[in-house]
Structures are given as structure tokens and as C-alpha cells.
Amino acid sequence: MLHLRESLSNTRVLTFVAGLLAGCGSGGSGGDAAPATGADTSPVNQCIDVAATASLCTSNPSLLSVTDLSGTWVLETIGAQVVTTPAYAQPFHIKSVAVLLAQVVQTGSAVTLSASYCDRIQHDDPANPAKVVLPDAWRLTPAPLVRSGTFAADDTGQLTLTLPTLIEVFGAALADPVCEGLPADANDPRLVDTDNDGFPGITVDLSGFISGTLRSVQRQATALDGVVSAADRIEGGMAYQSDQSVVASDPPNIKALYAGSKSSADPTACSSSFIMVRVPTVADAGVVDCEWVRANEAFLGLAL
């Protein structure tokens, strides 16, 4: 009887842990996530929302003296999600933080960010019995991106940075990133070793009461809307939608148990947000790269 209880307890924890992984390594807030992939090999088929809009999520007025955002910035996105799993009555809350180094070019009101990921941080629910660990291979994968938007006055005359929805896919190459089903099998030819660790998809580890490894594919849509709150700082809200599929796991039952859990954006207003901090122009700064960003995260005032 003792062994049976231990087995049931382990299954319950695994189901809970699988649910917490629904948002690992990504970030944001907004609409509901697509349903989790089932234990079979059928793909997730749901178009991700490309019409997301974000609220400003700040009471600070726009600093009208700043009219040009050109330069080097550090962008931090903070994504809050809610995970539900059949094994637990109460939902669990997780946050995914991403830190990017961005070069901003502004022409008139048009703004373009050329950025690369420098760091990814997972904040687990305190009740999590198994800690989600982002291996350095994935945590530090640069995954370069370019996104465009505007820095212009809104209806109230307040200068607002608006970055419309951008869709990113990690772990697979999709012909249609918006609606194409995510791979759900380790032999799917669309899989890509995004984190260059020798395995398909991206790898996430578990450490604690339950230890193991997941290989997954993640897709996210983000939209940012914020204001310049200081000469070197932009802050605002972020709309977000995401889905994920697990293509393989060790132990194998984590992949099957994942089917029972779902994640969605935290519905609490402004639970997800972003900030941008301009990199100081100082003679002794040296080369500003991701290593510099990681060494100066606290100095930059990021909300890690």
C-alpha cells in the first residue's frame, strides 16, 4: 500500500510539473493559450492571435522631451501565466522573464528594433515541488529578431511606443507560424535544434522532487505598448498568447501527463509588462554585448 501511495503521489506531482512547463522560457500576457498537445502525435491546430493589443499599464505620463529613441536599449519582458491541472483544484501562477539587447533606429515616427535574447528567467509558483530549470544552452540562446512599430502621439497627445504583434517560434520551422499545428513527435521533420544542444526542439530540465528533461516547441505572440517615463526608460504593458507542444521527455511519462494541463495568460490587469532601459553612454563602458547586459542587470534596474 505504501508503494501505491508513493506512485500516486509521483503521478500527481508530475502532472502538476508538466502544467508549470506550459510557459517556460517564454513570456508575456494577453489572450488564452492554445490547448496543450495530447499524448498522441496529432499537432496543436489553433491560430495564434495576431490582433493582440496591450494597455499602457503605467500611471507615469509620457516625457514629451524625448522624441527620438535611436540608440542601444535593454528590453525586458515579463509574462504572467496561469496553469490549471486536473491534479490540483487551485491554479498556479508562473512568470517568464526575457532580457534582450536591442539596437533601435527611428525614422520619423517609425521605429525598428534589431534585438537578441541575452537571458531567460523562470519564476515558479512557490508551491512547485519540482523546480523548472532553463539550461544555459536555451537560457542564453540569442534567437535574433527584428520588430517594427511607431513612436507617436496617441489620441490624448501622449507619445507612445507601439510594437504590434510579433510571432516567434522556438524549436521548429513552420511555413505558417500563425496557424500551422506544432510538431508533437520527435521525428517531425519541421523540428529545429534551436538551442544547439544536439536534441530536437528546445530543452528544459526539472530539478527537485521530480527530475527529468523535456524537449518541446514553443510559439508566442507579443504586442507592446508603453511610454517614456524617464529620459532613459520606457515602461508599459504587453499582450501575449502562447502555445507549446512536448515532442519527447525523460522520463517518457512527462510527455503524456502534459496533455492534462493547460496554460493561459494571467487575466489580472497588467500582470504582464515590459520595460526598456537605454544603455548609458560612458567612455569606459567597453563593448556592450549580452555578457555586459547579464553582468549589469541589477545596475540597469530591471525587474528580475
Q: How far is CA 93 from CA 30, 85, 97, 143, 266, in A?
A: 14, 12, 13, 26, 8
| pTM of this structure | 0.84
- The rounded mean pLDDT for the chain is 81
d(CA 201, CA 173): 10
Weakest-pLDDT range from 29-38, 210-219, 249-258: 29-38
Which of 36-50, 120-134, 149-163, 272-286 is most confident? 149-163
pLDDT in the model for residue 286: 65
Which residues are within 8 A (CB) of 109 and not within 5 positions of it... i.e. 6 or more apart?
A: 150, 151, 152
Give the CA count within 13 Å in the CB-facing half-sphere of 254.
Answer: 26
Report the percent of the chain where pLDDT is more than 90.
Answer: 48
- 253-262: b or e for each residue (b if 16 or more CB lie within 10 Å)? bbbbbbbbbb
| pLDDT, tens digit, 9 for 90 and up, residues 274-300 | 999 999 765 455 678 999 999 998 888
Which of 149-158, 189-198, 233-242, 292-301 is most confident? 189-198
What phi, psi does 217 have (nearest 5°)? Answer: -120, 135
Rg for the chain, CA atoms, rounded: 20
pLDDT in the model for residue 38: 33
